[in-house]
Each structure stands twice: as C-alpha cells, then as structure tokens.
C-alpha cells in the first residue's frame, strides 16, 4: 500500500513501473521529435505525462469506488497496474441497478476527463508542451472510456451487460456467464482487428504487441469470470458437515507403524489420522506427506507425533457455516486442511480438495479415500 485516497487504500502493482518506463521513453521521444526539444526535457515531459495518466486511471477507479460507497458497498482498495487498475469491493452489488451504476461510473469519469482535456487541447496553442499533453490525455481518456464500455467481462461494459441480463433472467451467476462469453468474443474480435491494422501498416509492432497483451488479459479475465460464476452457483451444495472427513485419533507416543496399521484397519476409508493427549483431546493432525517420507523400517521406532501438525496451527471452520461462508474463510486463510468444529469439539477435517471437487467437479474429482501414509 502506498497511501490512502479519500480513506481508500491505494496499491501500486510493480508492473506499473514497466508502464511508466515505456510511456516515458516512447512519449518522451515523440515530444522530442515534434517540438525539437533536448532529450532530457523530452523524457521529463514523458514522465509528466505518466503522472497525468496515472491520475486519470485513479480517478476512473474512484468513480467505481465512490459510487459503490454511495450504495453501502465497502471498498477494500484500489490497485493500479500495467494495463490500468481495478477496485476491490467487499461484496457484490445487491441489485442489477446498483451493479450497472457502479460499473458505468468509471467510464463516465474517463469520458468527462477526456472531454475536459479535449477542450484544453483546443484552447491551448498548437505544437506546445501543454497542448501536446492535453491532446494525449484527451485521446487516452476517451479511448479508455469507449473501450471499457464494450459489452464483455471483465470490462466495465461487461458488468453493465451482466446487470441487464441479471435483471431480465433474475440469476446473477448465469448473467455473469453470458457476459463472460461476450468478453471472450470482444477479445477475439479486438485481436483480429489489431492484426488486420498491423498488416495494413496502420499500427506499429509495439502497438500490436501491447494491444495483443490487452487482448490476452481480457480473454483470461473473461474466463475467470465464467469460472467464478459457475463456482458461486454451487455454493449451496457445500455441506461442511457432510464434506468433513471423520477423525481417527491415536494416543500421543504411538509408533507411526502402529498408527498406520489402525488407520488401514478402520472401516472409514476417508478418516483423517490424528494424535490425542492423555485426556483424549485431539492435539495434532498427521501430515500424510511427512509420514510417507519416513522409511518403512524406521516407522516402528518413530512416534506419530513427529509427523503431526499441532491443531492450534490449523484454521478452524464452524460446522454450521454456509457454503459461501466456507469459501470466504478458505480464501482468507489458504491451506490444505481445516478443522471442522462444533463449539470446542473437533467433528472432522476438511480437505480443500474435497471442497474443490464440489465447486468444480470437472476439474477436481473427489478422492474416495485419502492417500495412505505409507504409500
């Protein structure tokens, strides 16, 4: 975080440094040739344009953030990166109308900035430093406004399209999938157009590469939107009590070989092996990978505790959490396994692969039984 703007945390992605250097060099060289300036002054002006450009992107994102705040949606932060920026909110818009207003606020700000810069460029003398910067700011902001308004996710226009489809069919997740496929279509058409412009010598090689990078980012963003929507639609299927694997505990100090023998004999094929203290309280969970690394001839002499992880170090999930709450908790505390608790009692262990199998059954088929520690 580099600071706060109107109380909103502001982050700069390291890729923004690459953009700053590229724009400084390219635009600085352009100004040098147009106005016959010394190289140092040209690059200084190029850097000044970078600052103005960053300010424009920040105002665009503030348009989203402040509109979201207006409708009671919390804003976690704004991040500026190589290809623009994004605003992170703490929840989705509650209605299609709010979703559309928040989405279109950013392009509206860019359109206003482009108009003001265009008026300034018209009023300022031609072939001057200020006139050139005003013209470039007008062109860049108007381009951002128009391009962002295209109807496909992850663009702002795609969010507006989602809001429209959501209002028509009443299902936000299905609307997101529609807008995501529209985003892929926008990316494909944009890629074909820029290749054609390059072949007609209307676009430089640098411009071709940069725009194709944008196209790739759009394609990826659209795919992520589709994937997330499909996962979100399966949140109601997440039953933590049913997903939690039962626990088979052995006393502290039990040889690893004996613990594995009891685990193999247990009829619950998906049970998680754990360690209990003298009072029967579960204190550690066996790490299957660490147990498997112990040579078989050493396992009768190695205590199971040495390949177990203290339960205090594992995140806990309440058994009564909803599917959405489970996913949010896992996102906040990434890990491989989680204790499922009811009050102070551990009622099971959630393997994150089992959760993934529910949310994305095609990508993550659920294992019917965990890998045995000795395999």
Q: Where are the domains of the chain?
A: 3-237, 240-359
Q: How far apart are the first and last CA of the chain?
A: 46
Most confident of 140-154, 205-219, 333-347: 140-154
Threshold 0.85, pTM exceeds: no
Q: What is the DSSP string of 155-211?
A: SHHHHHHHHHHHHHHS-HHHHHHHHHHHHHHHHHHHHHHHHHHHHTTSS-HHHHHHH
Instruction: Give me the pLDDT at residue 368, please.
Output: 47
Per-residue pLDDT band at 375 (split at 50, 70, 90): very low
Instruction: Give me the pLDDT at residue 365, please.
Output: 61
pLDDT tens readout for residues 292-338: 899 999 999 999 999 998 888 888 999 999 998 999 899 888 888 89
Per-residue pLDDT, averaged over 124-134, amounts to: 81
DSSP 245: B
Alpha carbons 216 and 218: distance in angstroms, whole number = 5
Alpha carbons 137 and 121: distance in angstroms, whole number = 9
240-359 CATH: 3.10.580.10
pLDDT tens readout for residues 148-202: 999 999 999 999 999 999 999 999 999 999 999 999 999 999 999 999 999 998 8
pLDDT tens readout for residues 48-100: 878 888 888 899 999 999 999 999 999 999 998 866 788 999 888 999 999 99
Q: Which two tokens stand for residue 333?
A: 């505390």
């Amino acid at each position: 975080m580099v600071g706060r703007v109107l109380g909103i945390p502001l982050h700069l992605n390291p890729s923004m440094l690459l953009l700053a250097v590229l724009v400084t060099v390219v635009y600085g060289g352009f100004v040098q040739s147009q106005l016959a300036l010394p190289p140092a002054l040209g690059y200084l002006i190029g850097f000044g344009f970078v600052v103005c450009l960053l300010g424009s992107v920040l105002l665009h994102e503030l348009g989203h953030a402040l509109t979201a705040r207006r409708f009671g949606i919390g804003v976690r932060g704004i991040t500026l990166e190589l290809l623009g920026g994004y605003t992170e909110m703490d929840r989705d818009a509650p209605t299609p109308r709010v979703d559309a207003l928040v989405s279109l606020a950013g392009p509206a700000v860019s359109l206003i900035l482009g108009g003001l810069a265009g008026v300034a460029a018209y009023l300022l003398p031609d072939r001057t430093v200020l006139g050139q910067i005003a013209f470039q700011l007008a062109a860049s902001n108007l381009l951002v406004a128009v391009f962002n308004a295209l109807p496909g996710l992850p663009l702002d226009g795609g969010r507006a399209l989602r809001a429209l489809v959501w209002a028509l069919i009443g299902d936000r997740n299905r609307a997101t999938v529609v807008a995501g496929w529209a985003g892929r279509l926008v990316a494909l058409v944009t890629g074909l157009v820029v290749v054609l412009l390059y072949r007609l010598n209307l676009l430089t090689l640098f411009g071709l590469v940069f725009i194709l990078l944008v196209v790739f980012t759009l394609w990826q963003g659209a795919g992520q939107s589709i994937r997330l929507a499909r996962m979100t639609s399966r949140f109601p299927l997440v039953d933590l009590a049913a997903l939690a694997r039962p626990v088979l505990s052995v006393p502290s100090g039990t040889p690893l070989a004996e613990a594995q023998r009891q685990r193999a004999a247990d009829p619950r094929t998906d049970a998680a092996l754990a360690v209990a203290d003298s009072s029967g309280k579960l204190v550690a969970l066996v790490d299957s990978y660490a147990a498997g690394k112990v040579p078989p001839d050493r396992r009768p002499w190695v205590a199971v505790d040495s390949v177990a992880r203290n339960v205090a170090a594992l995140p806990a999930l309440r058994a009564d959490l909803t599917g959405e709450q489970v996913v949010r908790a896992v996102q906040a505390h990434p890990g491989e396994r989680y204790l499922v608790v009811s009050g102070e009692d551990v009622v099971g262990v959630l393997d994150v692969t089992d959760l993934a199998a529910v949310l994305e059954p095609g990508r993550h088929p659920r294992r019917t039984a965990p890998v045995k520690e000795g395999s």
